[in-house]
Structure 1
């Protein structure tokens, strides 16, 4: 299978990251397009989230005797979200954690550009996830029947009950996997290879139980609408803040900076 070399990938990422910074800064005057791309990414990840619940928790008799089977089924379903983001082109916060770092190191965007991009993309992803949760999950009753109702509540309660450090470290692991998936997709030369490259690392983070901030923008609000005794404050303070910080470290440092150091031409 033909692939781009690591150096070709990092050069491509540097160009993409600079374009993302221009888009979010308004330098090319396309705020409406940018906003839609951020919302769509949240929708796509939420779509993968609900599919992972339906498939992963839909066989209680089997998974009760084989606990790893639930993780495997959920992990197999969830990557559709990132596949849609990568193949169709959308603005995902966790992916941008890594994508903008090579551009910054090459002085093709500023630190302020990164802060603006991450902030606006994060908010847009949240809007997209919430819209999907309310309109296409809650109002359609997808999670009303058992075992989905109790399962989504249990998943969300477990997420907000994690110790802060645990949530932070799991956030690092999740976005390390997600950004490696994006790197693999960028190294591929065909759509099928891009999809496969996305699928394996994302499946791994789900099976391992790592924490992804944008995914949790689906899981926790969905459980809240199903009656989970979780407050907005709990969602933000006990999960989203530590997980988001971990995601930034996992993507920006462990993928973006590390691969830039390894493969960028130091003369550039």
Structure 2
């Protein structure tokens, strides 16, 4: 597997964050667009697998294929930049500013959204023969999920909103561990294994991922879900984005940075810089 030590991949985390914050806006948008499209195509794949087998856990086991592909291709999700880009500010990297970080986050969000909506359009056409017939079992399952993950939380009021927020924290704790997983091995096989495990965990426990939901709810509405855009944004997307930020930044990015990068022994730190 060619495993890298925590001190080694902690430095890679900061270096990667620096490369993302300094990336040209065009490249940020293209990479985010492709990431949103690929990840959400994997959602359709996972839902189809779960419906066909009658076993939701099967969907969780196959969903990571999208995350693995987009990371191997060097594309970016909002959940990943939430964890990595702030580390450049912590480390006071030259040219890395709060304004630059927020700009990166905004561009990645826009790119992910349009990528997800592209997949929504294409899969909607595919599942309905160009909107000429009712959706099949997979489309109906997405419609039910969209209602359950908005109206199902809304009936609990503030407690429901808090629950979605916490589900967002738990999600990006694992998803950002998957992002780091791509850095802890120098072989493709090692990277795939290290990414697959935490992503399967988050999907299997039905935590809330902001980019996944950029597909789930628009697709759900097209498939017949009785919800509005306002329901989606207030009872899911907004608390999920905030929860994903907290989970990725605090439980993965900051935790690994503080304990492995900032406390690296001098000899290790010197060898990493050479």
* The two structures share one fold, judged by TM-score above 0.5: yes
Aligned-residue offset at 1:110: 1.7
Please name the residue that 2:228 is paired with: 231
Counterparts in 2 of 1:1-268, with a 5 A limit? 1-23=1-23, 30-59=24-53, 63=54, 69-70=55-56, 72-108=57-93, 109-134=96-121, 136-141=122-127, 144-161=134-151, 162=153, 163-265=160-262
The separation in 2 between residues aligned to 1:34 and 1:182, in whole angstroms, is 17
User: Structure 1: which 5+ runs fail to align?
Assistant: 24-29, 64-68
Give me the TM-score of the superposition, normalised by structure 2: 0.88
The separation in 2 between residues aligned to 1:203 and 1:265, in whole angstroms, is 30
Residues 10 and 102 of structure 1 are in contact (CA less than 8 Å); yes or no, is this contact kept in structure 2? no
Count of residue pairs brought into register by the alignment: 252
What SS does the aligned partner of 1:91 have?
coil
The separation in 2 between residues aligned to 1:228 and 1:58, in whole angstroms, is 21
Residues 97 and 252 of structure 1 are in contact (CA less than 8 Å); yes or no, is this contact kept in structure 2? yes
Residues 133 and 218 of structure 1 are in contact (CA less than 8 Å); yes or no, is this contact kept in structure 2? yes
Residues 29 and 110 of structure 2 are in contact (CA less than 8 Å); yes or no, is this contact kept in structure 1? no
Residues 153 and 228 of structure 1 are in contact (CA less than 8 Å); yes or no, is this contact kept in structure 2? yes
Give me the TM-score of the superposition, normalised by structure 1: 0.90
User: Structure 2: which 5+ runs fail to align?
Assistant: 154-159, 270-274
Aligned-residue offset at 1:142: 6.2
Q: Which digits, 9 at most, give the CA deviation of each residue in 1:181-228, with x for residues without a partner?
A: 111221011111111111110100111111001001111111111121
The separation in 2 between residues aligned to 1:233 and 1:145, in whole angstroms, is 23
What SS does the aligned partner of 1:246 have?
helix
Aligned-residue offset at 1:53: 0.8
Q: Which digits, 9 at most, give the CA deviation of each residue in 1:141-170, with x for residues without a partner?
A: 269543213211111111113210010000
The separation in 2 between residues aligned to 1:34 and 1:214, in whole angstroms, is 16
Q: Over the residues paired in the alignment, what is the CA RMSD in angstroms?
A: 1.6
Aligned-residue offset at 1:33: 2.2
Detail structure 1 runs of 4+ shifted over 3 Å in the superposition.
142-146, 265-268
Please name the residue that 1:27 is paired with: none
